[in-house]
Amino acid sequence: MKNTRKKIFIVDDVPANLSIGRNLLKEFYDVYPAPSAAKLFEILEKVIPDLVLLDIDMPEMDGYQAIKIMKADTRFRDIPVIFLTAKDDEASEMEGFDLGALDYITKPFSGPLLLRRISNLLLIEQQKHDLKDYADNLEVKVKEKTDEIYNLQNAILATVTDLVEFRDKSTGGHIIRTQRYLKVLVDELFNWEEYKEEIEKWNMDFFVTSAQLHDVGKIAITDLILNKPGKLDPEEFEIMKTHTTVGVEATERIMNETKEHSFLLHALLIAGTHHEKWDGSGYPGGLSGKNIPLEGRLMAIVDVYDALVSERPYKKAFDHEKACGIIEENAGSHFDPTLVEVFKKVKDMFEKIKNDF
């Protein structure tokens, strides 16, 4: 509790009551006597008290009217009010509580008991405030920390992504476009009963962002292979295939160092399975059908579309129609046939993303 003395207003039209109250309270509190409700509101314009002791029967404005006005005013709404009154019938007391009073004490009252009830109430109010301050503070702190971590994560991710793109000269923009294609594809997937339930569990921001890391393992591939102008020989292609497992290993290493896994799990599955094929002829696992994580099956379509419409050291860029033709031909062999149907629904948007870039 703060050391500053608490302020209590006491409102009563009988001067003797004001001085009794004042004498009782002044040792512990700063007391502001008010002989009428009008005077109460006058003082309230200048001082916000910690508590108001309010008489009910007063000429002009009575205590019920006064509390109603207080509760209707956002500046005064949260000031605790105790009714201090000679009206000791149940209906009056109920009405007092209904109007928002925190306590109802009938006169004549015992001085020590009144003091105890007041100090209890002020303590509870103080704890309520402290708790709210603490919660507000915590919320701000957590938000700051979360933003910091999010920014750091994005900065590291962007740097790693840049490194991959920088080495792999032929794939400028690949990673950004890939995220946009993936977003379009997965947004459409929400309309398909078959996969809706699974993707509803995903955090879409995490999923789409983590796709940047799908080729992170290419960092480990020698330039001679990565940027070879012609066709890779089988040995070279074997080395190229390791970009999937290297990506998984790198992601696993980060996962071992951190508790935050939901983001990295998408990244790991995408890096590890984007070259698997529906018929089991892909790499590195030779997984088939729905044994290939959905993340990998989605990424496969997006990755190949982008590779097809882009120029590579080993191939020219194909136009959109040809790329779509190749993807559709490979439904059920390379790609999940349902996802190819999904792709067909949104392929115009793929073309737009490709041309916008």
Residue among 148 and 311 whose Cβ is closer to ligand C2E = 311
Mark out the alpha helices in 222-336 (DSSP H runs). 223-226, 234-257, 262-273, 294-309, 320-329
Q: With contact defined as beta carbons under 8 Å apart, do 73 and 31 qualify?
A: no
Which does residue 172 bind out of Fe ion, ligand C2E, ligand SIN, none, counting CB within 5 to 8 angstroms by kind? none
Q: How far is the CB of 172 from ligand SIN (least distance, A)?
A: 10
For residues 184 and 143, give the distance between their C-alpha atoms in angstroms, rounded to a whole number.
29
Q: How far is the CB of 28 from ligand SIN (least distance, A)?
A: 53
Q: How far is the CB of 97 from ligand SIN (least distance, A)?
A: 43
Residue among 50 and 215 whose Cβ is closer to Fe ion = 215
Residue among 109 and 283 whose Cβ is closer to ligand SIN = 283
Which residue from 71, 22, 62 is spatially nearest to 44, judged by alpha carbons? 71
Q: What is the total residue count of the chain? A: 357
The residue ranges that bind ligand SIN (CB under 6 A) are 168, 170-171, 201-204, 226-228, 248, 268-269, 272-273, 276, 284-285, 287, 293, 312-314
**How do the residues of the chain divide into helix, strand and coil, expressed in percent and rounded to 5?**
65, 10, 30
Side chain identity at residue 96, one-letter code: G
Which does residue 304 bind out of ligand SIN, Fe ion, ligand C2E, none, counting CB within 5 to 8 angstroms by kind? ligand C2E
Which does residue 10 bind out of Fe ion, ligand SIN, ligand C2E, none, counting CB within 5 to 8 angstroms by kind? none
Packing angle between helix 15-25 and helix 111-167, nearest 10 degrees?
60
According to CB under 5 A, which one of 215, 295, 306, 336 is a site residue for Fe ion? 215
Residue among 198 and 321 whose Cβ is closer to ligand SIN = 198
Residue 100 corresponds to which tokens in the numbers above?
């928002």
Q: How far is the CB of 326 from ligand SIN (least distance, A)?
A: 17
Q: With contact defined as beta carbons under 8 Å apart, do 31 and 19 qualify?
A: no
Residue 120 corresponds to which tokens in the numbers above?
């209890």
The residue ranges that bind ligand C2E (CB under 6 A) are 228, 231-232, 240, 275, 303-304, 307-308, 312-315, 326
Which does residue 79 bind out of Fe ion, ligand SIN, ligand C2E, none, counting CB within 5 to 8 angstroms by kind? none
For residues 188 and 176, give the distance between their C-alpha atoms in angstroms, rounded to a whole number.
19
Which does residue 326 bind out of ligand C2E, ligand SIN, Fe ion, none, counting CB within 5 to 8 angstroms by kind? ligand C2E
User: Between β-strands 7-11 and 30-34, what pairing exists: parallel, antiparallel or unpaired?
Assistant: parallel
Residues with Cβ within 8 Å of 300's Cβ and at least 6 positions away in sequence, in order, are 274, 275, 276, 277, 282, 334, 335, 336
- Give the distance, in angstroms, between the CA of residue 322 and the centroid of all CA atoms in the same chain: 42
Q: Which residue is nearest to ligand SIN (CB)?
A: 272
Q: Select the span of 120-128, 198-206, 215-223, 335-343 touching Fe ion (CB under 5 A).
A: 215-223
Which does residue 308 bind out of ligand SIN, Fe ion, ligand C2E, none, counting CB within 5 to 8 angstroms by kind? ligand C2E
Q: With contact defined as beta carbons under 8 Å apart, do 55 and 13 qualify?
A: yes
Residue among 17 and 209 whose Cβ is closer to ligand SIN = 209
Task: Provide the binding-site residues for Fe ion, judged by CB under 5 A.
Answer: 215
